[in-house]
Chain A
């Protein structure tokens, strides 16, 4: 068996073995049935839902706290972090979903105001809640679509003012106004 093959020189044999093996691999190897150009069609457009604002307001909250007098509007101001940060550039649109469950026998109006650093109102969203009763609460829902163009303005917002106004109010009424809301962010992570 040792004598079957005449002595070969090292370089030649190594070359034959390597080339032979690689040719074997290359000869049978290929990539077929695929189209890598499809990578250009990949879109990553996740939709994220995140709670926005909420409140549980009773008529007694419309007490001025000092002279026990009725004040028609409750208002406070939050730092706006809704449309800030890196995600802003990736937003295609945002839907604000607002829901009221009202068991107070009065209607309510709510203003959501986005203010810039100079307290200029960039966008005011008004939503109302129809009157209900303690035994028969009424649900009112609103969906506010914010387009990409509007979002370009809203990214400048630094404050969010929420103002809830009770019509023909009184502080001794029964019931509660339950405000729920969420923001639905439509994003596109691969687009510039």
Chain B
């Protein structure tokens, strides 16, 4: 579970400092910009399994997980227009391209293979089938709404909707909405049944790959790299794209133009004739939000067994070192460009069955993100729990992001 807010914290608005909250909201509004964003990502591992072929030095894995991913960039001009209006100079121009947001709920079926090519190099790949339950995507918007005073204008202002092009792509929404509107006793059951069907390969399907490698260029130095979710989804079922396009200029209503007692024309009809609104059911394809990861790790404190034998090579899978430190980088492609994070980490195997990893991360949200992971291996069980931004736990109101992961694996 990851939750992030770039640009504002609860403390910035709700600080108990005796100041008018509306003044603080306005100050924060002025300080934010269109690159600030809100993200929410949740993954639920439903099934994960793997097995090893010792002879061929192959490791196979497969599974199924659910994912909900949302990002919305801060539409500063629209927020200003809503909070302040267009009387203030700040509200006189709305850049419609600031409307950028996507969300997708899907299940991912995956099967992968990892092979140790030699003592130094291990490569792995994973094929993914996406089955999307629902999504929307509003990133290809353009145009402006401008309120300006022209010297030779007919009226006080000229209001212009300039080259407006709004596209909101949805899939999986219309049918659910129809079921919901229709109502009835079984509406919840019908919606649940529809969503379950979509989750089990009945949704909009797509395909993707993960690819990674590990290279041990010295005995205790390892470099890793991977790309995940390099894929696409074809949206052909239950698709609706809402489009608004056109240009319209409004200077008020000209009246009287002549001695005409009944002239009931209207600017709303004029507006509708010039700004076309359409609902399109044509299928479309979207690319997944691919992620890149890399790390450089140096291990230390070589482990020997109780007999004193430094015999790690006898089994490639045994951990050879009790500790490691290094750096790792992460990047994810988003509608307004990639997001980056870089971490320094230290890892330590404290007891035979307890591992700890601490990280210090610089990312889009903060420069003081300290994280901690605990992992325990007992018998066939592996259990882990990890949290981020531990410093901000001292006062969550000042936190810009939070992340929590936990789970367990059965290892045979």
Q: A residues bordering B, Cβ < 8 Å?
A: 1-5, 8-10, 13-14, 17-18, 20-21, 24-25, 28-36, 38-39, 41-44, 46-57, 61, 64-65, 71, 73-79, 81, 97, 99, 159-160, 162-164, 180-182, 184-185, 187, 189
Contact = CB atoms under 8 A, between A and B. Distances in A.
Contacts of A32: 395, 397
A79 B253 CA distance: 10
Most A CB contacts (10 A, CB to CB) among B15, B253, B390 go to B253
Contacts of A46: 81-85, 87, 91
A13 B378 contact: yes
A41 B22 contact: yes
B251 A79 contact: no
Interface in B84-103: 84-88, 91
Nearest to B408: A14
Nearest to A35: B16
Contacts, number: 206
Contacts of B381: 10, 14
Nearest to B268: A81
A33 B11 contact: yes
Contacts of A55: 254-257
Contact of A49 (B13, B87, B266): B87
A162 B252 contact: no
Contacts of B147: 49
Given A17-B354, A46-B82, A54-B155, A77 B266 contact: no
Interface in B1-25: 10-11, 13-16, 20-22, 25
A168 to B, nearest CB: 19
Nearest to A77: B262
User: Interface extent on B, as a size class?
Assistant: 35 or more
Interface of B: 10-11, 13-16, 20-22, 25, 81-88, 91, 147, 154-159, 250-268, 303, 305-306, 322, 351-354, 372, 374, 376, 378-379, 381, 383, 385, 387, 390, 393-397, 406, 408
Nearest to B14: A34
Ranked nearest first, the 5 interchain pairs of A and B with the lowest CB-CB distance are A51-B252, A46-B85, A29-B393, A47-B87, A35-B16
B341 to A, nearest CB: 21
A25 B399 CA distance: 14
Nearest to B375: A17
Contacts of A8: 353, 378
B253 A21 contact: no
A134 B83 CA distance: 44
Nearest to A32: B395
B391 to A, nearest CB: 9
Given A17-B376, A31-B396, A4 B260 contact: no
A33 B305 CA distance: 52
B176 to A, nearest CB: 25
